[in-house]
Structure 1
């Protein structure tokens, strides 16, 4: 099958899976399945940030949170250790889910292995594609999820999260972040966070 057909079919199956998300988000007056909207935002941001991204990276961006709701945060201890164990479990879960769909589409083992490698965030800061994925994740967070997060948490925690986010990004990602259409208050928080690094 042609590559263009493969990726279109994979996106369709990823989206069908994420459409089942019981959690919703209202955006521009419409209600969306939360992880479906997130996946579409990831694809959109990747196309802007890295328009020449490989097929494996495009696939990974689209399924980065696939069926995330199936492993709830509260199934692990509500502390730092529990959070890290939950994140590790999610990476493996997403990798297995994505592989199952990509096999159905007819992708080679090589492509599937690369998508799984990226989903598990291996060699961050060392592997160019892993870093690009992380940059896109951070950019999507800053553009769409940071301000709602900041509204629910103390400023000290918000600043700490911003610093962690900033450290994960490449220079290119940081430059792109400063060009996002953030509100004045959000930009002030970002400035405070990065000036303290």
Structure 2
């Protein structure tokens, strides 16, 4: 079992506010999410050595939220940390490799994540309205009118751009230029202005920087 500090990820302390860490229930749920995610068989390299991918993802999501929304409420903190809780139990290859299959997988996965978080929140003593609120955020309902759902979307995009983009580019040499640019522009379009500001501050690698520059140049002229 990996030893879990609910406010730490990949060698970086997650700077949630003092008021947030004073919530015993919140700390219990964040710890339970991390413990569930330690079962992910996939390992990723971190400053602390290899760690379960799902665990690292949740911590990185919380780190982005701490910067993006320092005063985030408990429902948003839980939704962000647990957006992909135990996603390894819902592999993409269990669904048809078609767009319809992809959409069904995404829909079922979001439902599964919301249900798992509901279980952990009930165990920690949260009331039903708060549990339902977390589910709404995780499912990104009414994202254009819900700042919390948009914040979750921003965090996911920032984790992708900051931590995953290099590997994604290298893993898909079969993608032509236009396909890669469409993916980056679609990611950018989903983000809020605040998310854009944080993304522009990322020190992209020599692998990612040319792609980002070209994608944004085409976005500005579109």
- So what's the TM-score if we normalise by structure 1? 0.95
Could you say if the C-alpha distance between residues 108 and 84 of structure 1 is closer, same or farther in structure 2, counting changes exceeding 3 Å? same
Equivalent residue, structure 1, for 2:56: 37
Equivalent residue, structure 2, for 1:134: 153
Deviations 1:89-139 (A, max 9, x none): 100000001001100000111110110000101111221111111111100
- 1:35-184 residue pairs with structure 2 within 5 A? 35-153=54-172, 154=175, 155-184=177-206
Counterparts of 1:125 and 1:181, CA distance in 2:
28
Which consecutive unaligned segments of at least 5 residues does structure 2 have?
1-20
Count residues with an aligned counterpart.
196
Which consecutive unaligned segments of at least 5 residues does structure 1 have?
none
Q: Secondary structure at the match of 2:140?
A: coil
Q: Secondary structure at the match of 1:27?
A: coil
Counterparts of 2:126 and 2:136, CA distance in 1:
15
Runs of 4+ aligned residues of structure 1 deviating over 4 Å after TM superposition are none
Larger relative helix fraction: 1
- So what's the TM-score if we normalise by structure 2? 0.85
Equivalent residue, structure 2, for 1:186: 208
Counterparts of 2:37 and 2:185, CA distance in 1:
30
Equivalent residue, structure 1, for 2:47: 28
Q: CA RMSD in A?
A: 1.4
Deviations 1:59-105 (A, max 9, x none): 11110110001111011111111111100010000000100110000
